[in-house]
Structure 1
Amino acid sequence: MIFFSFPFFSNLGDRFFLLPKLVSRICFQIAVNIDIDSPQPIQTMEEMQIKEQELRNQARKEKEDEEKRLEREREKERIRAGKEIHEAKRIAEDNERKRYLASRKAEKEEEKRAREKVRQKLEADKNERRRMLGLPSVSHTATKLSSPSTHDKKNYVSVASVSKVEQLRECLRSLKRSHKDDDARVKRAFQTLLVYVGNVAQNPDKEKFRKIRIGNPLFQSRVGRLRGGIEFLELCGFERIEEDKFLFLPRDKVDLAVLNSAGLEIKSAMSNPFFGLLSHA
């Protein structure tokens, strides 16, 4: 509230004369009403601690509730992942079982075909050996009365030749069994023996094919150091000469029937995957 007070003037003329001064001498009176709220009561230390504890408990409870919610979510995720893993494992096991059965079936069929092929090969080799083991024609005029008949002589020579063939086969079996874990070395030995035998059978008059240096490193690595290698060549007619420095096959001891049989045995051993493995040492 504002109050204005003016000084008293005796006449109106004085009022107009002193009006500017009146304005400068105005007095203001202001009445101010100030409402002051009553002060809040001051909390005690104990009340503050109780309030603080309540806030901490509330925060802890909210945190525990959040952790429980997250744990439930994680448990649901673990269950879902476990089901997916179990299903994937079951599918993988089913596929593996199917592949195993298919593989076993294929192996049995392959083994059956291999055995049939081996049987046919052995049958063919047997027929070929029978054809090649026949005696050459003999002149009746040169036959002595004391000599056995042609039929008996054929039987005798056939038995002897079959015995030689069995010895050749046993040498190859021994070589294969002694190095059954090194197929490449066995195959190389068979190929080398086949070359030696084939060269002599095709060129019996050439001495270079009928003489082998035993100390030759190549011969030693391929045949000489392998069990049964040199024995096989000796069964083919090769002999040790010059203090075991050479293997030599004299021209008059070249037996084409034995050499051909040796070649057939080597080829049979190379083509038969079960050669030397199904027989006992």
Structure 2
Amino acid sequence: MAGVSLKCGDCGTLLRSVEEAQQHAELTNHSNFSESTEAVLNLVCTACGKPCRSKTESDLHTKRTGHTEFVDKTSEAAKPISLEAPKVDEAATSEEALNADASQDAEMVVPEVDKKLVEELEAMGFSTARATRALHYSGNASIEAAINWIVEHESDPDIDQMPLVPANTKVEAPKPSLTPEELKAKQQELREKARKKKEEEERRMEREREKARQNERIRIGKELLEAKRIEEENERKRLLALRKAEKEEERRAREKIKQKLEEDKAERRRKLGLPPEEPSEAKPSTVVEEKKSFLPVRPATKAEQMRECLRSLKQNHKEDDTRVKKAFQTLLTYVGNVARNPDEEKFRKIRLSNQTFQERVGALKGGIEFLEICGFEKIDGGEFLFLPRDKVEMAVLNSAGSELDSAIKNPFFGVL
């Protein structure tokens, strides 16, 4: 069987003629060609009529256009190959060279096309370069002609490159090869593709926006949980501090009760004419007292002085618990008014002869002493208690408020 193609021994490509072999050699520098009885495929698309010379090319065409039906016309196009190089017409070659030189010398510009038609093609989803190239080579006549050209040349490697032509060059419009019905179907198909592409882009953007909103909700939720955790931790610390203070107060109360019991026991022994306990029994406590005497004595703080003053007030009037609690609440009111309004003189000045003050605080031993620890001073011959503005100490007032609050709420406060 005679050879119907040339096969490249380096890459296996089938070529239809010597001219194609020469072009292949120039592009790839391959030089090993042999005659082959295997024909170059000729697969023609039934939808648009585009010929494909290999299965790979037909697959690419299907991927670009969605056309899947092809007619195999390889046997019709297969002819014995001529191994003689084509003769070159010297005159024609000279004329082509002159034309090429003239084209190179001429200024290359982007051809002028109808801008409205370009905008319509861009709205259909085509790039500016593809729309310009289609209008230029279709004669800049109509949208239909441009779409027809795009359909026929969509596999061209330079279809998305802006065309350049010598200045003052005109290209005649080729006749459309599709029927009006086919052209209308193609237009509808291209519009549908552009619509689907736009919808897909909108869905993608909506997914991204929803993801961003979800991330924002997660971030806000984490911040709220963290704020709640911090608030709960602070509340837990406050309760622990309050319980610790209450336990300390209970411990002191128990120690005082124990001390009182020891004193009562000693008093009973004395009344019964019994001798006091032997020194040996009390020796350990004496040793402890001696050891304690060597420790440095820390001066009592104002908070401790206030606590002792309130304890003394309750001890002195323990038979009237309601009156004591009312005195504590009245003192808390005086201290709170000064703390909230330190610049108001009316809250910093108390008339000692005031009947309400006397009934609630003044007549109870320890009430006036507590106010003096807070900074109040007697003025005008002892007629008023006055706290000068420059001697208002918020720390002292806060301590006074804490001690009064503890005395009111703690049932063990000042048991003895």
What is the TM-score normalised by the length of structure 2?
0.29
What is the TM-score normalised by the length of structure 1?
0.43
Which one has a bigger Cα radius of gyration? Answer: 1
Structure number with higher relative contact order (C-alpha < 8 Å, ≥ 6 residues apart): 1
Structure 1 or 2: more helix by fraction: 1
